[in-house]
Amino acid sequence: MTDAFEVTGAFAPAESLSTTPTGHDAVDLSATPIADEPEVPEAPNGFVTMGLAPELVHAVKDLGYTQPTPVQVKTIPLALPGESAGQQAGKYIDLMVSSQTGSGKTAAFLLPMLHTLLKQQAESEAAERAEFERLVAEAAAKGEAPPKRAKRKDPTNVRNFKAPAPGALIVCPTRELAQQVANDAIDLVQHCRGLRIANIVGGMPYQLQIAKLQNANLVVATPGRLLDLQRSMQIKLDQVQFLVVDEADRMLDLGFSDDLAEINQLTIARKQTMMFSATFAPRIQQLAARVMREPQRITIDSPTEKHANIKQVLFWADNAHHKRKLLDHWLRDTTINQAIVFASTQIECDGLANDLQQDGFDAVALHGALSQGLRNRRLMALRNGQVQILVATDVAARGIDVPTVTHVFNFGLPMKAEDYTHRIGRTGRAGRDGLAVTFAEVRDRRRIFDIEAHTRQHFKSETIPGLEPQQRFPDSRPGTGASFGGRGNHGAERAPRNFGGGDRKFGNGPREGGFGGGARTNQAPPREFGNQSRDFGGAAREGFSYERKGGFNDRFAGSRPDAAPRGGDFAARKPAFSKPMGVKPGNTGKVFVPRDAKKRAARTFD
């Protein structure tokens, strides 16, 4: 056996230290002078200084993070009970947080909640242990056998079913976002013992989700499926202590206002409420006033500072075919690792994905009409690198966190300017660099101007040699009155003017000349439509004559009591339509004649 000797606590063969790998004698490095380099002190872990549980700090370090982001620095101390300055011990503060996508706001509300749940769990276990030791001591004093610990019951057995009562609840607007938040929570509790996370979304089997709910401490859910399980007594929400409403603006857009009101009543005894939204719009403030108690606002990054690490470019296209060529040119870029192409509708999403597949691209579609199982498999394929291009609607604008997504393409523009911010936030995650490319047609210029006004950033249009647009497109938002019949600055009201400009009506006005009238030598005398000096049928002009049986107003003379009956009277003739055309809704029995029929009948001369 080869002799070995100890080197810094480890055993290694003596031969391996006496020679180099090539067999030559080892060089004595002790005689070689080495300059002492100043050691750079390692910055302390920012999560440790916040007082978080060691298990959570260990998990965050395993994920590759040692310093918190700005939104985490401001949110976590306030979310912890009685930890911030000027805060009473044990008191929780309601928070309203606005931050850009990819800034780490998910961990900003997960870490304080998990820290508090771990602390409460440790206190509960300590109390149970003390109670058991007391019972053992009493049994020993009485000379009885010590009591046995209660066995853990199988939660999958129907006889042992007990409706779970989680201590924390996170509500998300979309299934993809709820799954992403649940995955992040599972990663953070990998070193925690006895803390369970459950994800409740629609489109999944009920029995599977009911089984996952057993003994759950934190539940991440969408409102619809959560209320379905609550109404069927599969979950109790009366013991929820912490409620988080993620993407509150999207919640209201999708019509979850009534569901949020019901969840608020079911969790009325909670200790803390946190709401995360892109903006503090008036409707968000109204929602906060109903569900929160004196919330503190935290705003990270102004609109002009959002997505500073994402380059945004704009390409104008003449039509859909031209836009498709621009996309094909960009997708052949070799610098693309993975990309997301956003479409406006589900039909456009499916058609574009099929076209890209036929052109040889590795692309799949993702939208709300697909089954939840298929959506999960395609998202998992994107995260695992099995799919390079994901063609999606706005259902993927929030909740997809794939660091390898380097490009985002807006093939179809979003309906709301706020969704553009969330779309491009799928790239450039956690401080990485990203590229967002937008394609727009001439009909999309209004949406482009709205996006510029929302982000407070101006798009500089670019062109590709050989694919330049043939039409002329605007470089910036037009000013007041610059566009024909359009608005001026963003949010400004339309100027009170008529066709032709100024304060004049169509066809006359006090100005001389112009489109509609003015003081001219051959100008006709002032008249109304159909009578006074000129009638509807026309006045006698040189080279033109017309014999008529009465003016436009005279046709209805038979309806006046002082009018004598005439042979050419409208009332004396047979009507143009002798059969009723229909009945107005709500006025059963009253016959009406279409407006066009009345005009034709009125213009029928004898």
Say if CB 66 and CB 49 are below 8 A apart.
no
What's the pLDDT tens digit per position in 531-545? 444 444 444 444 444
- Do β-strands 296-299 and 95-98 pair in parallel, antiparallel, or remain unpaired? parallel
End-to-end CA gap in the chain: 130
Structure tokens at 365: 């579609």
> What does the chain come to in residues?
606
- The answer to whether residues 295 and 95 touch, using CB atoms and an 8 Å cutoff, is yes
- Residue 55: what pLDDT? 92
pLDDT number for residue 147: 86
Sign of the dihedral through C-alpha 18, 24, 28, 32: negative
pLDDT band at 566 (very low <50, low <70, confident <90, very high): very low
Confidence at 411, pLDDT banded by 50, 70, 90: very high
Give the tens place of pLDDT for each residue, 252-277.
878 888 899 999 999 999 999 999 88
Same fold, 107-118+161-300 and 304-455: yes
User: Higher-confidence residue: 423 or 16?
Assistant: 423
Q: How confident is the model at residue 595 (pLDDT cuts 50, 70, 90)?
A: low
Domain ranges of the chain: 107-118+161-300, 304-455, 548-606
3-class secondary-structure state, position 358: helix
Question: Is the C-alpha dihedral spanning 529, 533, 538, 544 positive or negative?
Answer: negative
What does the mean pLDDT of the chain come to? 75
Instruction: Note the pTM of the prediction, 2 decimals.
Output: 0.63
Out of 98-112, 125-139, 502-516, give the one with best mean pLDDT: 125-139
Q: Does domain 107-118+161-300 have CATH number 3.40.50.720?
A: no
Residue 371 has pLDDT above 70, yes or no: yes
For 393-446, where are the E strands, in sequence order? 405-410, 434-440
- Contact in structure between 449 and 423 (CB atoms under 8 Å): no
Report the alpha-carbon angle 475-479-485, nearest 5: 105
Q: Which of 98, 592, 103, 178 is nearest to 399 (CA)?
A: 178
Confidence of residue 42 (pLDDT cuts 50, 70, 90): low
Q: Which of 280, 287, 255 is nearest to 418 (CA)?
A: 280
Look up residue 140 and give its two tokens: 């020993």
In angstroms, rounded to a whole number, what is the distance separating the alpha carbons of residues 297 and 279?
Answer: 11
pLDDT computed for residue 561 by the predictor: 45
Cβ 195 vs Cβ 217: under 8 Å: yes
Compute φ and ψ for 406, nearest 5 degrees: -100, -20
Structure confidence at residue 299 as a pLDDT band (50, 70, 90):
confident
Distance CA 572, CA 558 (A): 8
Band of the pLDDT at 83, cuts 50, 70, 90? low
Label residue 294 by pLDDT band (50, 70, 90): confident
- Token readout for 589 is 């029995």
As to burial, measured by CB atoms within 10 angstroms (0-12 exposed, 13-18 middle, 19+ buried), residue 556 is: middle
The pLDDT of residue 550 is above 70: no
Please classify residue 3 by burial: count the beta carbons closer than 10 Å to its beta carbon, then call 0-12 exposed, 13-18 middle and 19+ buried. exposed
- Domain 304-455 carries which CATH code? 3.40.50.300
The pair phi, psi for residue 309, each rounded to 5°, is: -90, 10
Reported as a pLDDT band with limits 50, 70 and 90, residue 288 is confident
Q: Tell me the residue type at 444.
A: D
For residue 455, the model assigns a pLDDT of 82
Confidence tier at 366 by pLDDT (50, 70, 90): very high
Evaluate if residue 236 carries a pLDDT over 70: yes
Answer yes or no: are the C-beta atoms of 115 and 189 closer than 8 Å. no
Question: Which has more confidence, 284 or 551?
Answer: 284
| pLDDT tens-place string over residues 454-502 | 888 888 888 999 998 887 766 555 443 333 333 434 444 344 444 444 4
